[in-house]
Chains A and B, each alone.
Chain A
Amino acid sequence: MLLLNITELQKRFVDPEGKSTCVVDVPRFSIQAGQEVALRGSSGSGKTTFLHLISGILSADSGRITLDGIEMTTLSSSDRDRLRATKIGTIFQTFNLLQGYTCLENVLLGMSFGPGPDRGRARQLLERMGLANRMDYYPRQLSVGQQQRVAVARALANRPKLVLADEPTGNLDTVHAAAALRLVREICREESTALLWVSHDPTMLSQFDERLDFHQLNRACAVSGIAL
């Protein structure tokens, strides 16, 4: 079943000098429900902008994004927020945990804007991430690997249809990175959640059967001459 369908998606930014630059120009891209896709791309290629467009953080200048049958580009900002909260989970390279909140609260916070806090589900996920005895710890009291696992739990908390992972293992060593990927894939498979894993790490990318090159996907890269 088609979960995400993108056609003729364009996003331009205007630099301080007033020059308009096209950053994302993707003619076609799709993900099936429960599918795992790895997207390869170097820094500055527009991958993060592409993910922000999918999650509705940014609005597209033109084109269509359909997620789970809903045409996102016609939604209001508020409806896009709602869609993001309920159907999309995001794992950031820098984790983006809120420092004033404990691990459990960070996960609960992720649920607050979606279906609502489910303490049992939050605890279960954190236990699964090996953080059963760290639930009341603040992010600064955790190792980098542990912080990443909290971020993963938060992204999966709302049982999203699609998980967007933006260089999620960029700050981890090889062993922890592999473990994080294993955990994410495990839960995504269990819950039939599609996964779009963006990375430039060949080791990580080699774990996926479905690998796409963002430079080939994004026509804007060819125009600007961004190399792999």
Chain B
Amino acid sequence: MSLLQIVWKSLRQHAFSTGVTAFSIALAGALLLSVWILQDQTRRTFTGMDAGFDAVLGARGSKLQLVMNSIFHLEESSGNLRLEDFAEIQKNPHVELAVPLALGDNVKGHRVVGTSLELFTRSEYRPGLQHVVEAGGRFFDPNNREAVLGSFAAHKLGLKPGDSIHPSHGLNYAEGHEHEDEYVVVGILKPSNTPADRVVWIPLEGLQLMTGHTEKAAEELSAVLVKLKAGNATAGFLLDQKYNKEGTRLTWAWPIGRIMAQLFDKIGWFDRILELIAGLVAVVAVASVTASTYNSMNERRREIAILRALGARRFTIFSAVVMEATVIATVGMVVGLVFSAGIFAVVGGILRTQVGVILEGWAGHSVLWWGPLVMVSLAALAGTIPAWKACRVDVAQNLSPTS
């Protein structure tokens, strides 16, 4: 009989405690892996999400709020800027593309964003990828009351081309606040896995001139998405100087990724706490393997004594117990990997619903190999404590049955 067979026999004999211990490792492992992957993926996704633009120009206020409002379609707007500001940035020699955004309405909680067709036709939300309308639809005609819906918004609202919508006033839905204006859905965007999927897009003028909006709204914008010309590294700094340092009326949020990264840096302490909790849970789970194996040594003293009387060396007994702890941790971590994939899917689903971003795949993350390796190694190391106890069992004393 090989050592592995002896270990397998022992684990089967103590199937219940083996199962419970492996389950606790699975839960701890899943928590550890999920925390690690989710915080990394969330950071990467949010800092990498720029909708294909370099900067956002908006009213004076927080850069983060401006980015959240214009790129992620979350948060309130920090204010408006004038049409002349848009014209000025559009003409700036460093600017390749400037796309205006006007916000202020919603369709049953989904933001209505007024913009120009260039958002769809001239910009790439990811390198090489442009927004595309599903078959049977088209982009809106800026001269008509037409709307194009993000895929997620269309799905949630149950709308298809040909249906009509009445935007409601404000960013949050309240019954009875619908505008009189009726928009016809003319297209549904193919899923882009970006916050654009959650938005109802209409022509800029449509939102500006919506019945019930003030006259001032026709001369204002919520923000301008700006793409700088390639090859000019100083353009961003120059505009930062112009708007943020010298000017007092507008905010130049650039570069978008760094602004989001600053947010994550600010809440980095929370990540550390999560990591600490996950780490502590993992340590407790590993300790449970030690405790469970250590306690079982008392009831297995006779078994160990018999093995030793048959010629098993102390090292053989020591190895068997360490291997037992290792096998329990390995089984636990295999189950833990499955659990963590489940947690990732659930959290990913929530993020997609709430923010519209899709996390990258669960597989392929480095923690998926080093996490289990660390846990199994820790369990093997912890297994040396009961293993030491096992190989010190007094053979002569424990060969006779205890009654």
Contact = CB atoms under 8 A, between A and B. Distances in A.
B12 interface: yes
A98 B304 CA distance: 10
A81 B2 CA distance: 17
A96 B9 contact: no
A78 B1 contact: no
B309 interface: yes
Contacts of B310: 84-85, 109-110, 112-113, 154
A55 interface: yes
B156 interface: no
A218 interface: no
Nearest to A52: B396
Interface string B3-36: 0001001101100000000000000000000000
B314 A77 contact: yes
Given A94-B401, A100-B9, A108-B1, A114 B311 contact: yes
Contacts of A49: 396
Contact of B311 (A48, A82, A98, A99): A82
Most chain A beta-carbon neighbours within 10 Å: one of B309, B315, B316, B401: B309
A41 B232 CA distance: 102
B219 interface: no
B170 to A, nearest CB: 70
A90 interface: yes
A90 B1 contact: no
A100 B307 CA distance: 13
Given A58-B396, A94-B401, A100-B12, A113 B311 contact: yes
B311 A81 contact: yes
B400 interface: yes
A57 B313 contact: no
Interface in A20-67: 48-49, 52, 55, 57-58
B303 interface: yes
Contacts of B1: 105, 108-109, 112, 117
B391 to A, nearest CB: 10
Most chain A beta-carbon neighbours within 10 Å: one of B9, B311, B315, B399: B311
A214 interface: no
A197 interface: no
B13 A113 contact: no
Contacts of B399: 57, 92, 94, 96
Given A85-B311, A98-B303, A101-B9, A57 B316 contact: no
B395 interface: yes
Contacts, number: 73
A168 to B, nearest CB: 14
Interface string B284-306: 00000000000000000011001
A86 interface: yes
B198 interface: no
Nearest to B305: A96
Nearest to B315: A78
A96 to B, nearest CB: 5
Nearest to A97: B306
B306 to A, nearest CB: 5
Contacts of A58: 396
B285 to A, nearest CB: 26
Contacts of A52: 395-396
A81 B9 contact: no
A36 B200 CA distance: 99
Contacts of B346: none
Most chain B beta-carbon neighbours within 10 Å: one of A86, A90, A98, A110: A98
B312 interface: yes
B227 interface: no
Interface in A204-223: none
Nearest to A166: B399
B10 A100 contact: yes
B169 interface: no
A113 to B, nearest CB: 4
B131 interface: no
A66 to B, nearest CB: 19
Interface string A183-217: 00000000000000000000000000000000000
B73 interface: no
Most chain B beta-carbon neighbours within 10 Å: one of A92, A96, A101, A117: A96
Most chain A beta-carbon neighbours within 10 Å: one of B1, B302, B310: B310
A149 to B, nearest CB: 17
A54 to B, nearest CB: 12
A49 B312 CA distance: 19
A113 B313 contact: yes
Given A100-B10, A113-B316, A90 B400 contact: no
B308 A57 contact: yes
Contacts of B10: 100
A117 B5 CA distance: 12
Nearest to A83: B311
B13 A90 contact: no
A133 B121 CA distance: 82
Contacts of A94: 399-401
Interface of B: 1-2, 6, 9-10, 12-13, 302-303, 306-316, 395-396, 399-401
7 contacts: A77-B313, A78-B315, A86-B311, A98-B307, A100-B13, A109-B307, A112-B312
Given A52-B396, A94-B401, 4 more contacts: A84-B309, A84-B311, A96-B302, A113-B311
Closest 7 CB pairs of A and B: A85-B311, A113-B311, A100-B13, A81-B313, A112-B1, A96-B306, A84-B311
